[in-house]
Amino acid sequence: MTRRSRKRPWGEHRPLRMDSLASMPRSVSRTDGDYQVQYLSQARKVYLCPGCNQQINIGQAHVVAWRTDSLFGERSGLEQRRHWHRFCFERGF
């Protein structure tokens, strides 16, 4: 007797998860340069926001941003990414 596959039939689809869409990187232009920004629903560890120098606690929603117009290339900008409070990043600190 052969085993039956547990995969979904082709006619079914997964429901759209809005929380995963929120985490897709987006391009943002500010006066100080161009950034890739990723909105995260929760922090997995404690980070220090470079805008206000206060902690982003575990479980708190925040933003990860990196420069795309870095002097040493996009890879360098990605390596220098920072975790911000959303309000601090949008305010442009």
Tens of pLDDT, residues 29-66: 888 888 889 999 889 899 999 999 999 999 999 999 98
Quote the pLDDT of residue 2.
64
Q: Which residue has the tokens 């007797």?
A: 1
Per-residue pLDDT of 2-33, as tens digits, reads: 666 666 555 565 665 555 555 678 888 888 88
Quote the pLDDT of residue 32.
82
CA distance to 3, 11, 62, per residue, from 48 (Å):
52, 46, 11
Taking the C-alpha atoms of residue 24 and residue 48, their distance in angstroms, rounded to an integer, is 22
